[in-house]
Amino acid sequence: MEQIFLYQQWLSQRLHEYVNLSRPPKLRGRKIVMSPSQYGAALMQAYFGRASLNWIAEHVGISVQLLRQWRQEPQFLLTMDWSKSIFSNAFRENLILKDYSMAQYYSIAAEISLLEESLRLTVRMPLNQHFVKLGRSLMSLHQNDLELNNYDLRLDNHWPGSACHCVSEDFLTLARDVVWPLLNQKQWVGQELKSIQQAAPISRILIKLDSKLRETLQPFISCRTK
């Protein structure tokens, strides 16, 4: 399956929506009037911290000096803050409602590792809380010999591929020994993940992400006015 980068896809959707609006959008009562490239640069700030300003400026097709200037403008900062909460909700819905292969979870995780720290926390904490609640519910049902709902089983199936290292060992045991067999999964995630890592190291995944971002931003680089 093709690699999936959820922030890159979300950024692309937001950019296309922005350039097709009939009037400037409002955030917290303030009109946002920016060129598509400036708007794209604001969304690209999610990568800052792990990536440099030079890297972001290069992708957007502007100078670092101009990017530094934009980063001092109120509407640019407002768009940056807005994008964190909106993407966090979209990301959580994607992982809960959609099925991905383990290879796709791997590329999703590689991209998330690049995101700015506060955004990673905004994304991760509600998702972990959701899966902890689900894990406890499944454990209680299993311990009391009650039937486990198929939808919840499939949702729990997402967790080992998307959760962080802090997942409880009890929940991992439940997933490996109960959920996987009930879903007729032939291979536990650990073995599958190792083979994926060997076939496609993180460095290769990030090169693909770089290419995807360039494809996403290229149509908007020359758009200096809205």
pLDDT in tens, 160-219: 444 444 445 655 666 666 665 655 566 556 666 677 777 778 888 889 999 999 999 988
Query: At 51, is the pLDDT very low, low, confident or very high (cuts 50, 70, 90)?
Result: confident
Provide CB contacts within 8 A for 133, sequence distance 6+.
none
> Cβ(51)–Cβ(114) under 8 Å?
yes
Between 69 and 225, the more confident residue is 69
Q: What is each CA distance from 204 to 2, 25, 50, in whole angstroms?
A: 13, 37, 17
Torsion of CA 105, 106, 107, 111, to 10 degrees: 100
